[in-house]
Amino acid sequence: MRLEVDDDELAACVSCGLCLPHCPTYRVTGEESASPRGRIAAMRAVHAGAEAGPAFTSFMDLCVQCRGCEAACPSGVPFGRLMEGARRTLVAERRYQPWWRRAGYRLLGHHRLLLAASSAAALAQRAGLVPARLGLPRLPVRRPRLDASGTDAWLFTGCVMDAWMRPTHAAALRAMEATGAGVTPVGAGCCGALAEHAGLAEVAGGQAARVVASMTGTAPVVVDSAGCGAVMKDYGRLLGTPGAQAFAGRVMDVSEWLATRPLPTGRRLPLRVAVQDPCHLRHVQRAHAHVRTVLTPYVEEVVELDDDGLCCGAGGAYATVHPDMAARIRALKLEAIAGARPDVVASSNPGCAMHLAAAGVVVRHPVEIIAEALGGPEALGG
Amino acid sequence: MRTLLEDLTAALGAGAVKGDPLELALYARDASVMEGSAGCVCFPTDAAQVQAVVGVARAHGRSVVPRGSGTGLAGGAVPIGKPGAEPVVVVTTRMNRILSVDAAARTAWVEPGVLNLDLSRAVAHLGLHFAPDPSSQQACSVGGNVANNSGGPHCLAYGVTTAHVLAVEVVLSDGSVARLGGTDPDPTGYDLRGAFVGSEGTMGLATAVLVRLTPLPPAVRTLLADFPSAESAAETVSAVIAAGVVPAALEMMDQRITVAVEDFVHAGFPTDAAAVLLAEIDGLPGGVDAAVATVVELARRHGARQVRVAADEAERALLWKGRKSAFGAVARIAPDYYLHDAVVPRTRLSEVLQRVYEIADANHVGVMNVFHAGDGNLHPLFLFDRRVPGALERVHEAAGEVLRICLDAGGVLSGEHGIGLEKRDYMPLLFSEDDLAAQDALRRAFDPERLFNPDKVLPSGSRCGDIRSLPEGVWV
Ligand SMILES: Cc1cc2nc3c(=O)[nH]c(=O)nc-3n(C[C@H](O)[C@H](O)[C@H](O)COP(=O)(O)OP(=O)(O)OC[C@H]3O[C@@H](n4cnc5c(N)ncnc54)[C@H](O)[C@@H]3O)c2cc1C
Ligand code: SF4
Ligand code: SF4
């Protein structure tokens, strides 16, 4: 089975193994099949004609797509692209994503429907109808309104995050506006990241095109979800149009954008904050340093986790699809957090935040901490 | 009779044994360019399980190939066996606990699958570290370090792995567990620990290692000097050692590799220098300052254009990251590399280097060089693309020539990566038949039936004339 990957990129891995310790699934299992090097070797074997049986699919499927391997690889192997290519081929030739997963990814693009479904689930939760083992956070029945204040920057609000964690967007708006900018929040449904990672290129492309069309002009497109930001910065490749390329160039993580602004004065909160770097901020956008820059003035102490940015196991939809592996990976992160003894963990990605919160960690988005330090009239409690 | 897979599964449980063909293929190689094929792969969690695996393998007439992280560069973990009798690969990644740390005695018992850097990190809060630091230290296992007696940049001052291993618990081919060595600084009887360290998985499988931990130096300074010629860098190295300074590390990179590395780490390595020297001095603050001054002065006197002293820990870490990812960064230039590992007397470094360039040019293959310059350990890397017909053969040719000039210059076969499969058939170049027979007798004392890693280190023909057939693609 020929995989939809570039031959040279597939050949670039020299099997040195330097990526192994940075791979969460390898850390947990110790198996080559769950490592970047092994996954690449399996892709090569299949690409060269070996049978792509259930083993191959499961090796590919167990990857979190955290791309910790990519940042660690001295040979510059573009692992994310290889994995997406392999999954696209599996989708096309092996019915890799079952209908219910595909339907789920599609729903994310239909924002009103998603909001309604989420509110219904929230009510069901209140009525005790949602089993706790699904690991859902407490869903909001009502959400705060987000109002536009100007046109200096856009704030992209996304899909699930908007439905479940809108107070984080409110905090982002508050922090951005405090720097003197006028901001317009835009919800245009899912950015396409989840579908892209699943190998559903068509679904992802449709969603991406809708997002590009929703934020015209030249103002920066600010994103407070690291996973969304990462794929939006890659729209040029995903859509292959000059317009998408130009759009991608305007995308910034909210901390990255704040770091370019004069930071407003605020209180210094008596908190020891451990920064958890979402993989797609650290390994993909490589913009994680800004989080420290913008948090430092507002808290007593910013501390690092001693795990080289190893993935927490959330991985977008991963924790839903592979709850056991996600929990085993999370256990490593919990150890690192315990070692840092923080009052609160700052995470710039809603998926990571929910995944860690489900294990009892106190997690907040950096902008929520900043917004609290800035004080003000807004009711920011979530 | 039950199959090998069934017996292993009965012994270890289903999740710990793999037999799917695609999965087995992932254990066909390590970080070298050689390939074999595995009969079964298993993941024991303790010595008792390893004993069980050894029993099953024997019963089925299969050999046992220990494997740590598979970062070996000499094919040591590559499974070799006739079709139908492929070895059982025993992976130590699930034996990765630090069993005990004695901060006062500065020792720790660890399982073999503990990663080298993880061990150092885990004891850093005690002001200690595990001194051997192969460039692969983030990924390689302590068991692999012991088996290969691995070195690293800082082994110039601290010594290679064997200086940091006090005792090893080993499962032998008859299934027994032996403890070799001990805490006593001069143990009574033969130094079996010393024989085992460096045995490359051919004498048994280490299931626990008592390592010596080294205090973190109170002061460390790292400096980078760039030179207009490789000779001037090599002469500086000799001058530094002659001046009585023993840097913790003294590493050299030629221009081509410096360019590749800079492309990955962006640490400000000068890409227009013919060679750069990375030196690290550690010890007590006063002594360190004096030694740094000496090195800077000597570098300048030998024509260094610029000497940069790392300003802080972050800059220091970045410089080392560059050096330690040198091999991998090469792949930015060509998809395959063959890494040579030879040692020559330090005084002949620049002359041998010149010959290496000539040999590469004559064979039309690209070459880049990194060295542990302080101890004359040369690592030429030949670049190629295995998809180009004839490329592999030309590299093979060049590698053989380089090996010969190194031996002619008074060097040895392997600096630190081991003999494994790759250099096995070169052993007769360095050792007489009697030498090899003595080594084989030692091996037989541990493993009379060649159960462990039978096709490695010693040419199999040297003893009883049974030339084993190598599968296609194996390159020796
Ligand atoms: C990028 C890169 C840089 C490197 N830099 C250096 C360097 O600077 N210095 C250096 O010395 N090496 C270096 N190496 C080589 C390699 O990393 C070392 O040899 C390392 O010690 C191998 O460890 P491993 O866990 O990967 O062992 P493996 O490759 O899995 O095995 C190596 C050998 O050890 C045996 N073995 C493994 N575990 C056990 C055990 N528990 N009991 C008995 N036998 C066992 C295997 O059978 C095999 O023969 C480098 C490799 C790479 C890819
Ligand atoms: S992906 Fe990169 S780091 Fe991992 S084995 Fe391949 S070349 Fe080495
Ligand atoms: S993307 Fe993450 S989980 Fe997947 S192979 Fe790379 S490091 Fe491992």
Q: How confident is the model at residue B467 (pLDDT cuts 50, 70, 90)?
A: very low
Judgement on whether residues A227 and A123 belong to the same structural domain of the protein: yes
Ligand 3 in reach of A79 Cβ (< 6 A): yes
Q: Residue A99: its pLDDT value, please? A: 73
pLDDT for the residue numbered A108: 72
Interface test with B, best of A7, A10, A18 (most B CBs within 10 A): A18
Chain A CB contacts of B136 below 8 Å? 16-18
Confidence (pLDDT) at A85:
93
Q: What's the confidence (pLDDT) of residue A199?
A: 84
Angstroms from A89 CA to nearest CA on chain B: 18
Q: In which domain, by residue range, is B124 found?
A: 98-215
Nearest-Cα residue of chain A relative to residue B92: A30
Q: Where does the pLDDT of residue A378 fall: very low under 50, low under 70, confident under 90, or very high at 90 and above?
A: very low
The amino acid that residue A135 corresponds to is G
Interface-testing mutation among B20, B26, B117, B387, with chain A (most A C-beta atoms within 10 A): B26
Spatial contact of A234 and A240, defined as CB atoms under 8 Å apart: no
Measuring CA to CA, how many Å separate B438 from each of B149, B414, B431? Answer: 20, 19, 10
Question: What is the C-alpha separation between B463 and B439, in angstroms, rounded?
Answer: 10
Task: Say how far apart CA A80 and CA A286 lie, in whole Å.
Answer: 14
One domain for residues B208 and B111: yes
Same domain? For B235 and B284 the reply is: yes
Please identify, among B190, B215, B240, the residue that sits at the C-terminal boundary of a domain: B215
Which residues contact ligand 1 via a Cβ below 6 A?
A 16-18; B 30-31, 65-73, 76-77, 92, 112, 134-136, 140-141, 143-145, 147-148, 150-152, 200-201, 205-206, 327-328, 416-417, 420, 453
**Does residue B472 carry a pLDDT above 80?**
no
Closest ligand 2 atom to the C-alpha of A17?
Answer: 5
Q: How far is the C-alpha of B299 from the C-alpha of B282, rounded, in Å?
A: 18
The Cα angle at residue B290 between residues B284 and B293, in degrees rounded to 5: 135
Print the domain residue range for A79. Answer: 7-93
| Cα separation, A212 vs A223, whole angstroms | 13
Question: Are A25 and A140 members of one domain?
Answer: no
Q: A56 versus A75: which is more confidently predicted?
A: A56
Give the rounded distance of the alpha carbon of B134 from its chain centre. Answer: 7
Which CATH number do you get for residue B378? Answer: 3.30.70
- Kindly state whether residues A69 and A159 are assigned to the same domain: no
**Residue A96 buriedness (CB in 10 A; 0-12 / 13-18 / 19+):** buried
Angle formed at CA B360 by CA B359 and CA B361, multiple of 5 degrees? 90
Domain boundary among B356, B377, B408: B408
Residue B445 lies in a domain: no
In this structure, what token pair is assigned to residue B303? 């024509």
Q: Are B433 and B390 in contact (CB under 8 A)?
A: no
What average pLDDT score do residues A367-382 get? 72
Examine the domain organization and report whether A114 and A86 are in the same domain. Answer: no
Q: How confident is the model at residue B7 (pLDDT cuts 50, 70, 90)?
A: very high
DSSP string, B358-398: HHHHHTT-EEEEEEEGGGTEEEEEEEE-TTSTTHHHHHHHH
B366/chain A closest Cα distance in angstroms: 16
Number of Cα atoms under 13 Å in the Cβ half of residue B334: 21
Mean pLDDT is lowest, of A121-135, A158-172, A347-361, for A121-135
Q: Does residue B345 share a domain with residue B292?
A: no
Reply yes or no on whether the pLDDT at B471 is more than 50.
Answer: no
Question: Is B116 domain-assigned?
Answer: yes
**Does B53 score more than 90 pLDDT?**
yes
Count of domains forming chain B: 3
Indicate which residue's Cα is closest to atom 7 of ligand 1: B134
C-alpha to C-alpha distance for A179 and A118, rounded to whole angstroms: 33
Q: What ipTM was predicted for this assembly?
A: 0.89
**pLDDT band at A381; cut points 50, 70, 90:** very low
Mark whether A120 and A227 lie in a shared domain. yes
Least confident of A17-21, B33-37, B336-340: B336-340
* Nearest Cβ partner for B136 among A17, A45, A50: A17
Residue B169 and residue B223 in one domain: no
Atom of ligand 3 nearest to the CA of A279: 2
State pLDDT tens for residues B295-353: 999 999 999 999 999 999 889 999 999 998 887 787 777 778 888 777 888 778 888 88
Model confidence band, residue A159 (pLDDT cutoffs 50, 70, 90)? confident
Cβ-defined contact of A42 to B22 (cutoff 8 Å)? yes
A318 within a domain of the structure (yes/no)? yes
Could you tell me if A87 and A222 lie in one domain? no
Residues A138 and A251 placed together within one structural domain of the fold: yes
* Ligand 2 atom having least distance to the Cα of A14: 7
Q: Tell me phi and psi for residue B264, to 5 degrees.
A: -90, -50
Reported as a single tens digit per residue, the pLDDT across A312-330 is: 999 888 988 899 999 999 9
- Examine residue A382 and state whether it is found in any structural domain, yes or no: no
Residue of B91, B140, B328 with shortest CB distance to A74: B328
Q: Whose CA is nearest to atom 3 of ligand 2?
A: A73
Asked if the structure places residue B318 within a domain, the reply is yes
Residue B33 lies in a domain: no
One-letter amino acid of A270: P
Report the chain A residue with the minimal C-alpha distance to residue B121: A306
- Final residue in a domain of this structure, among A258, A281, A297: A258
Given A258, A278, A297, the domain boundary residue is: A258
Q: Name the average pLDDT for chain A.
A: 89
Instruction: Please report which ligand is nearest the Cα atom of B149.
Output: 1
- The rounded percent of chain B whose pLDDT value lies above 70 is 95
> Is residue A100 in some structural domain?
no
Would A101 be classed as within a structural domain?
Answer: no
Same domain, A112 and A202: yes
For residue A325, the ligand closest to its alpha carbon is 3
Banded pLDDT at B415 (limits 50, 70, 90): low
Residue A43 domain-assigned (yes or no): yes
The pLDDT of residue B460 is 65
Q: Is residue B70 part of a domain?
A: no
Counted domains in chain A: 3
pTM: 0.90
Residue A145 vs residue B275, higher pLDDT: B275
Hey, what are A368's tokens? 């929520």
Centre of ligand 3 from the C-alpha of residue A88, in Å: 17
Cross-chain residue pair A51–B91, CB shorter than 8 Å: no
What CATH code is carried by the domain that includes residue B319? 3.30.70.2190
Q: CB count, 10 Å around CB of B405?
A: 18
Task: Say what the pLDDT of residue B309 is.
Answer: 92
* pLDDT > 90 in chain B, percent: 58
A245 Cβ contact partners less than 8 Å away, ≥ 6 residues apart:
A235, A236
User: Which distant-in-sequence residues (6+ apart) come within 8 Å of A202 by Cβ?
Assistant: none
- Residue in B428, B443, B474 with CA at minimum distance from that of residue B74: B474
Residue B418 has pLDDT above 80, yes or no: no
Atom 8 of ligand 2, nearest CA residue:
A16
Q: Are residues B230 and B195 in the same domain?
A: no
Q: Which protein residue's CA is at the shortest distance from atom 2 of ligand 2?
A: A73
Domain assignment of residue A116, yes or no? yes
Q: How far is CA B46 from the centre of its chain?
A: 24
Q: Is residue A379 part of a domain?
A: no
Residue of B nearest to A30 (CA): B93
Tell whether the torsion through CA atoms of B43, B46, B47 and B49 is positive or negative. Answer: negative
Could you say which of A205, A225, A258 is where a domain stops? A258
Q: Tell if the CB–CB gap between A30 and B96 is shorter than 8 Å.
A: yes
Claim to verify: residue A202 and residue A236 sit in the same structural domain: yes
pLDDT in tens, A187-242: 878 899 888 888 888 889 999 999 998 899 999 999 999 999 999 999 999 999 99
CA of A38 to the centre of ligand 2 (A): 10
Q: Are residues B309 and B363 in the same domain?
A: no
A317 and A340 co-located in one domain: yes
Residue B187 has pLDDT above 90, yes or no: no
- A230 with A125, same domain? yes
CA nearest to B383, candidates B458, B445, B329, B318: B329
Burial of A142 (0-12, 13-18, 19+ CB in 10 A): exposed
- At residue A377, does pLDDT exceed 70? no
> What is the pLDDT at residue B320?
92
| Rounded Cα gap, residues B337 and B382, in angstroms | 5
pLDDT band at A135 (very low <50, low <70, confident <90, very high): low
- CB of B39 within 8 A of CB of B6? no
The verdict on A292 and A254 lying in the same domain is: no
Average pLDDT of span B450-456: 92
pLDDT digits (tens, 9 = 90+) for B195-251: 999 999 999 999 999 999 999 999 999 999 999 988 889 889 889 988 988 899 999
